[in-house]
Amino acid sequence: MERIDDRGGAQAEGRIEPFFMEEEATKKVGKQVWVRDDSLAHEGIAKEASGTVVDAYAYFPGVWVVSVQFTFASDHWLFLPFSKEEYARTLEER
């Protein structure tokens, strides 16, 4: 079953909206997150690694993503952007 989302597009029932809206993205800033699985191994980030949501920004007008910082050492870190769908699939808040 499909329903129409706020932007006029079809969305499958029970499926996560692929992108954040501004308000929900900005509420994620400051959250601590952990990697659910090995899906970020290609970036050198292991399962159970922790990161912090450090930014939220408009990828396109009305389409927001969050930026997560993973720190490997005091002078080595990586920032990765996540859509809402990627965030839900890859990261976990505890």
Q: Is residue 58 domain-resident?
A: yes
Cβ atoms 25, 81 nearer than 8 A:
no
Q: Is residue 77 domain-resident?
A: yes
- The answer on pLDDT for 3 being more than 70 is no
pLDDT band at 56 (very low <50, low <70, confident <90, very high): very high
Q: Is residue 8 domain-resident?
A: no
Q: Is residue 39 domain-resident?
A: yes
Q: Is residue 4 domain-resident?
A: no
Q: Is residue 1 domain-resident?
A: no
Structural domains in the chain (count): 1
**Per residue in 32-46, is it b (16+ CB within 10 Å) or e — as a string?**
ebebeeeebeeeebe
Q: Is residue 3 domain-resident?
A: no
pLDDT band at 52 (very low <50, low <70, confident <90, very high): very high
Q: Is residue 71 domain-resident?
A: yes
Quote the domain boundaries for residue 61: 16-93
